[in-house]
C-alpha cells in the first residue's frame, strides 16, 4: 500500500475519531481563557488525549496554520530574607541564615521574597545599578511582608539590602560589600516546540482504527 493511501486512511480515521467522541470529556474549565465555561480548544483536547501536561499554545508562524507552538509555563520561585542571631541573610529556604539568595531562573519567571517570621530588622530587595532591569522593594520589616518581580531580560542581576550592604563602582565594576547580597541569573526561554495538528490527528486516527479492528 502506498504511503499516500495510508496517510489518507489515517487522516480520515482521525477525523472520524473526533466526530465519534474519541477525545475525553472537555467540559471542565478552559485553561486558555481561565473561565469555568466548557472548553473546546483543539490544542487542549489533543494534549488531554495524549496524556501530557497542559501548555498555553499559540499558532506557530514558522509552522503555518497546521502547527502549534508550545510555550513552557512560567514558574514562581520563593526566596526569603531575615536575620538570625545578628546575621542578615537571603535564602532559598525559610529561616535559613546559612542559605544564599543566588538562584537561576528562566525569562518570564517571577521571584517572591518573603520576610521570615521573627525578623527584628529592616530589609530591602534592591537591584544594583548595572542590573538589566531595576527593582526595589523599599524597606520591609514585618514577618510575612513580601516583594515580587518578574524577570524578562536574560542576564545577571546583583541585588542587595540597603540596610545591610552597600556597593561601590571601582574601575567601572560594581562591587558589593556587606552581609546581605545575592545574584539572580536569568536565562533565555527555550525555543517553543511545535505540534502538527494534522500529524497528531493522523496518529490518533491510526490508533482508533486499530482499536476497532481488535474489538
User: What does each of the 215 residues of the chain score in pLDDT, given as a tens digit?
Assistant: 554 554 455 444 444 444 444 444 444 455 555 666 655 555 445 544 444 444 444 444 444 444 455 566 789 999 999 998 889 999 999 999 999 999 999 999 999 999 999 888 999 999 999 999 999 999 998 889 999 999 999 999 999 999 999 999 888 889 999 889 999 999 998 766 555 555 566 666 666 666 666 66
pLDDT of residue 150: 97
Do 43 and 90 lie in a common domain?
Answer: no
Whether residue 172 sits in one domain with residue 82: yes
198 with 159, same domain?
Answer: no
Burial 112-128 (b: 16+ CB within 10 A, else e): ebbbbeebeebbbbbbb
Tally of domains within the chain = 2
Residues 81 and 150 in one domain: yes
Contacts 24+ apart (CB under 8 A), 5-12: 7/202, 9/205, 9/209, 10/202, 10/203, 10/205, 10/206, 10/209, 11/198, 11/201, 11/202, 11/205, 12/205
Q: How far apart are CA 115 and CA 113, in angstroms?
A: 7
33, 31, 108, 111: which is closest to 79 by C-alpha? 111
DSSP H stretches of helix in the chain: 3-19, 42-50, 197-214
Within this chain, do residues 99 and 42 fall inside the same structural domain, yes or no?
no
- Residue 114: predicted pLDDT: 96
Which CATH number is 96's domain given? 2.60.40.420
Instruction: Tell me: do 60 and 101 sit in the same domain.
Output: no
Find the domain containing 199 and state its range: 3-72+193-214
Q: Could you tell me which of 82, 73, 75, 213 has the C-alpha nearest to residue 148? A: 75
pLDDT score, position 158: 96
Burial of 88 (0-12, 13-18, 19+ CB in 10 A): buried
If asked whether residues 170 and 91 sit together in one domain, one would say yes
Do residues 167 and 183 share a domain? Answer: yes
Q: Are residues 94 and 176 in the same domain?
A: yes
Question: What is the Cα–Cα distance from 208 to 197, expressed in whole angstroms?
Answer: 16
Q: What would the DSSP string read from start to end of 135-160?
A: -B---B-STT-EEEEE--S-EEEEEE
Say yes or no: 39 and 103 in one domain.
no
119 and 52 in one domain?
A: no
Amino acid at each position: 500500500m502506498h504511503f499516500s493511501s495510508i496517510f489518507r486512511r489515517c487522516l480520515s480515521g482521525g477525523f472520524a475519531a473526533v466526530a465519534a467522541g474519541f477525545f475525553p470529556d472537555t467540559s471542565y474549565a478552559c485553561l486558555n481563557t481561565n473561565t469555568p465555561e466548557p472548553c473546546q480548544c483543539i490544542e487542549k483536547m489533543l494534549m488531554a488525549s495524549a496524556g501530557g501536561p497542559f501548555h498555553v499554545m499559540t499558532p506557530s508562524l514558522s509552522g503555518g496554520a497546521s502547527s502549534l507552538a508550545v510555550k513552557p509555563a512560567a514558574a514562581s520561585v520563593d526566596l526569603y530574607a531575615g536575620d538570625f542571631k545578628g546575621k542578615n541573610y537571603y535564602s532559598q529556604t525559610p529561616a535559613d541564615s546559612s542559605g544564599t539568595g543566588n538562584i537561576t531562573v528562566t525569562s518570564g519567571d517571577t521571584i517572591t521574597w518573603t520576610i521570615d517570621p521573627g525578623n527584628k530588622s529592616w530589609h530591602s530587595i534592591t537591584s544594583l545599578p548595572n542590573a538589566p532591569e531595576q527593582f526595589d522593594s523599599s524597606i520591609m520589616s514585618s514577618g510575612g511582608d513580601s516583594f515580587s518581580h518578574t524577570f524578562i531580560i536574560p542576564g545577571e542581576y546583583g541585588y542587595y539590602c540597603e540596610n545591610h550592604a552597600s556597593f561601590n563602582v571601582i574601575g567601572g565594576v560594581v562591587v558589593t560589600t556587606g552581609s546581605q547580597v545575592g545574584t539572580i541569573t536569568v536565562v533565555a526561554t527555550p525555543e517553543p516546540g511545535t505540534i502538527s495538528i494534522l500529524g497528531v490527528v493522523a496518529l490518533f486516527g491510526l490508533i482508533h482504527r486499530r482499536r476497532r479492528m481488535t474489538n
